[in-house]
Amino acid sequence: MWRGLIEAYRDRLPVSEATPVVTLHEGNTPLVPAPVLSQRTGADVYLKVEGANPTGSFKDRGMTMAVSKAVEEGSKAIICASTGNTSASAAAYAARAGLTCAVLVPQGKIALGKLAQALVHGAKLLQVDGNFDDCLALASKLSQDFPVSLVNSVNIFRLHGQKTAAFEIVESLGRAPDIHCLPVGNAGNIAAYWMGYQEDHAAGNSKILPKMYGFQASGAAPIVNGQVVQEPSTIATAIRIGNPASWTKALDARDSSGGLISAVTDREILSAYRLLAREVGVFVELGSAASVAGLLQQAEAGKIPAGGTVVCTVTGHGLKDPEWAISTAPSPTTIQNDVLAAARSLDLA
Ligand code: F0G
């Protein structure tokens, strides 16, 4: 039986017998082949579907570690800044552990499902008149001055938890992919995957290391532009970040893997979002579609070798943002309770 990633990878994580494991049995997510994307790119493409985690995003991998370590250290309260998913995950794991959870989010800029999750799990939710970067500065200051543990990805335990996604991929494929694509926001996840792949390589589990391809939204692309974006803007609110905390680590992942960090437009993100839902059967949130948007963009530019193996992480579930989904999908048809009316509406009669 799968008992969560700490039990699965105990010997490769900074935990001991004394660590109280706080888990919702996160991890062990599907690696799903995406034939439509393989056809379009000429590569062998898989999706690592992180929306299948307990709170619907990859954040659960980091949170099981961060919250377990917070409890081990005697913390009674945790705090985070978030574009939504971190707050949902922190709230759930805090509820599980009996901790108080405070979350700071940019007012009006987080998806409805994520807001619901944080509230339902009982987090103290503060909506800040500012962006994510302002929220993170506030949360960091609060954790320095008051007895509360910061569980953003600047907390190294988060990255250790998240690196296990790379372990799972190597186990499934028997080696690392040639290219790994993922969205970049605060840049913790690209750093975590790179850590995981390097550890697997050093342990002899994969003969090769992947090239790390990270994608930011073009209105929130500080790493691509080489400078802080004061007012980041994108429809992909999850990655609406102008000053990523793990900037240097992301550059290291890019450069030591021989990869790239590039920008995708909101239009490209939306088109990948639709393609994933309509032709691959996987419903992801907008921010997650940036990885696939990036893959398609790079394939057009000839940067994806034919026959290579590519994994795209799709980081969060589409149901996180029901408002967006409904507003962009075709409207339902209302009919009378009548077979012929139904048949006509379905073009059957
Ligand atoms: N995809 C989704 C769905 C996210 O929620 C995030 C980050 C990312 C990608 C980017 O990952 O920050 O490690 O580069 N969300 C954070 C949050 C910032 O608060 O939920 P990253």
Helix segments in 188-318, DSSP class H: 188-202, 222-225, 247-257, 266-275, 286-300
Domains delineated in the chain: 5-57+156-323 (3.40.50.1100), 59-150 (3.40.50.1100)
One-letter amino acid of 305: P
- Dump the DSSP string for 90-123: HHHHHHHHT-EEEEEEETT-S-HHHHHHHHHTT-
Q: List C-alpha distances in Å: 33 to 38, 45, 165, 230.
A: 8, 6, 16, 38
Segment 178-204 shows an average pLDDT of 98
Eight-class DSSP state of 41: H
| 31, pLDDT greater than 90 | yes
**Backbone phi, psi, residue 70, to 5°:** -65, -45
301 in a known ligand binding site: no
Q: Which atom of ligand 1 is least distant from the CA of 114?
A: 20
pTM of the model: 0.97
| 328, pLDDT greater than 90 | no
Q: Let me know: does 242 contact 274? Beta carbons within 8 Å.
A: no
Nearest to 266 by CA among 227, 246, 240: 240
One-letter amino acid of 263: A
pLDDT of 23: 98
Share of the chain above pLDDT 70, in %: 100
Segment 220-235 shows an average pLDDT of 98
Give tens-digit pLDDT for 128-187. 999 999 999 999 999 999 999 999 999 999 999 999 999 999 999 999 999 999 999 999
Q: List C-alpha distances in Å: 18 to 31, 73, 88, 248, 337.
A: 32, 10, 27, 33, 62
Q: Tell me if ipTM is over 0.95.
A: yes
Q: What residues are in contact with ligand 1 under a 6 Å CB criterion?
A: 57, 59, 82-86, 153, 183-189, 238-239, 285, 287-288, 315-316
Give tens-digit pLDDT for 71-94. 999 999 999 999 999 999 999 999
120 pLDDT tier (thresholds 50, 70, 90): very high
Eight-class DSSP state of 333: P
Nearest to 320 by CA among 53, 136, 131, 39: 53
- State how far the Cα of 47 lies from the Cα of 34, in Å rounded to an integer: 7
Q: Which atom of ligand 1 is least distant from the CA of 57?
A: 3
| 274, pLDDT greater than 90 | yes
Give tens-digit pLDDT for 240-257. 999 999 999 999 999 999
Helix (H) or strand (E) holding 32: strand 31-33
- Rounded to the nearest whole angstrom, what is the distance from the C-alpha of residue 103 to the centroid of ligand 1? 15
| 309, pLDDT greater than 90 | yes
**Among 83, 93, 138, 212, which residue has the most ligand 1 atoms within 8 Å of its CB, making it the best to mutate?**
83
Q: Let me know: does 251 contact 298? Beta carbons within 8 Å.
A: no
186 in a known ligand binding site: yes
The four Cα atoms 139, 82, 125, 101 give a dihedral, to 10 degrees, of: -70
Mean pLDDT of the chain: 97
Q: Give the 3-state secondary structure of residue 127.
A: strand
